[in-house]
Structure 1
Amino acid sequence: MTHTTTLDTVARPSVQAPAPEQRSRARWLRRVPGWVVVTLLMIAVVYPLFWLLTGSFKTQNEFLNNPTWALPEDWTNLDNYIEAFTTGNLGTYIKNSVLATLPALFFTIVFGVAAGFALEVMVWKGRGTVLLLFLAGIMVPGQMILLPLFTIYFQTGLTGSLWPLIITYTAIGLPLTVFMMATFFRGVPREIFEAATLDGASIYRQFWSIGFPMVKNAIFTVALVQFFFIWNDLLIALTFTNRDDLRTIQVGLLNFTGQFGQVQYGPTFAAVCVNVFGTLVIYLFLNQRVMKGMTAGAVKG
């Protein structure tokens, strides 16, 4: 029996571990599909931006006679940008967008954060019903309320100003803001507010000195989401702006046409570049705060 066991042991082949070179090669091969996917996604995102940027330096003749993938003949040609701001009134459109976006964003954030605090931190009868009413506002399509709102603004004499845009943007942005801020406040420990109450802090002091600073990163996240919605809006701005000097940048981009309705591609590309890359810089600048805000909104079970 001992002899047979010894023979089996000797006859059994030994298993050798793979060499370090083989392991590294296997890891590299496993990563190749991921690199290919990331590369394709980068091309899909970067190439349109590059094509937009190159188009802003082309002349009208280059757009009509050269291939679409051709590079501009003169990279220092800034005539399209100059024409976009002078003839195209791009500066006026940007100013109107800023004047409509900033007040609407301010009212949306202040009212939304206050409502989220009241619905999640404060204890009062009927808060669940009120939260459901806010959630119902998310499901109402904005297209359904444009005609009634236009009638109301006309009867109250608000047409001919930017107030219809500010009021509409605030009303449409509040339901989502309230829901998101209530979710963020849900992750704040209640012991903090209870300790503040024992120390004699009023509810207003708890909101401004404790609640508001603790969800600061979340506020940046919500504000950025609402900013892009308001800034990129076309339908509402096109409905309520009845004069050229009131048009926002999205509506103004529709007017880059020449004689007989011919599109001026160079100034149009330049104006779109100013709009796209301007908002892209804002997003990249606030990206870290957005990531922190999304992490802060994760509620542990």
Structure 2
Amino acid sequence: MNRFASPLIAEETWPRERLDVDYNARATIGDRFPDEMQAYRETSDEVRSAWLRFADIVYDGKSGQTLDIFGPETGDGLRPVFLFIHGGYWRALSKQDSAMMAGMLAKAGIMTAVLDYRLAPTVTLSEIVREVRAALAFLWQNAARYGIDRNRIHIGGSSAGGHLAAMLLAGGWHEDFGVPENVVKSALPLSGLFELAPLAASFPQEWLSLDAQDVDALSPIRHLPRLGCPIVVAWAEKEAPGFKRQSTAFAEAWADLGHPVRMLEVPGRNHFDILMELRSEETALSQALLTVMGD
């Protein structure tokens, strides 16, 4: 594991008013937020009706949390899988809102797994991270049962899900969960959050209740792995400024270690509708995902 002193830590000393603006994704789309959330559910329902293969699989006995698996018909060999982690600032959304890319990937011969995790403030962020790591470990340990090649697990997540995906990339946890250090073969963190110091100093602290130890342990940019897979760090053109700073800082830190990384700003999209790019294989974002999964 590589300790990294993120320049984003300095943001915790900035005025609270600025941080509240810079990390308020919802404010960037005005009154369209309900429409964006409705689109998440509707597009996921559309994919579910066509491509769902296994529903409500309990991946963690302690929490009882579940995941769904989408993809082509099984039975003709093991396939790669894309494990997607939803956002919602760690306090909202679910796997029911998070399958919009599964149809595009199924047509390319790729399985998709989407998971639920318990939400803050009902549970701590540390527990959320544990649950997501348990989901990855479950997939690796039980892959063949679901037609998945455990040596071709790829991950992604949006917003808070980008943070959680980066916590799967982080070093130092694999032995406790019985998975190899290189369990993840590529990653797509979208509009993610990788240093928590600014969030502990602004409005998300209201439901996260992070102390200094939490901020250190749960900031993935401070725990970069010894083995780094190829990643695409992407964000929307119309992001709130904090999300852009976080994404570029994480990508640069990854590159500084010699790990392969591509940065991609998606034009015309906002923090929420960037996920709609993954419905079609023809978009630059989908092409980037398919390419990194094939490397």
Between structures 1 and 2, the one with greater helix share: 1
Pick the TM interval, shorter chain: under 0.3
Between structures 1 and 2, the one with greater strand share: 2
Give the structure-1-normalised TM-score: 0.21
Higher relative CO (Cα under 8 Å, sequence separation at least 6) belongs to 1
Give the structure-2-normalised TM-score: 0.22
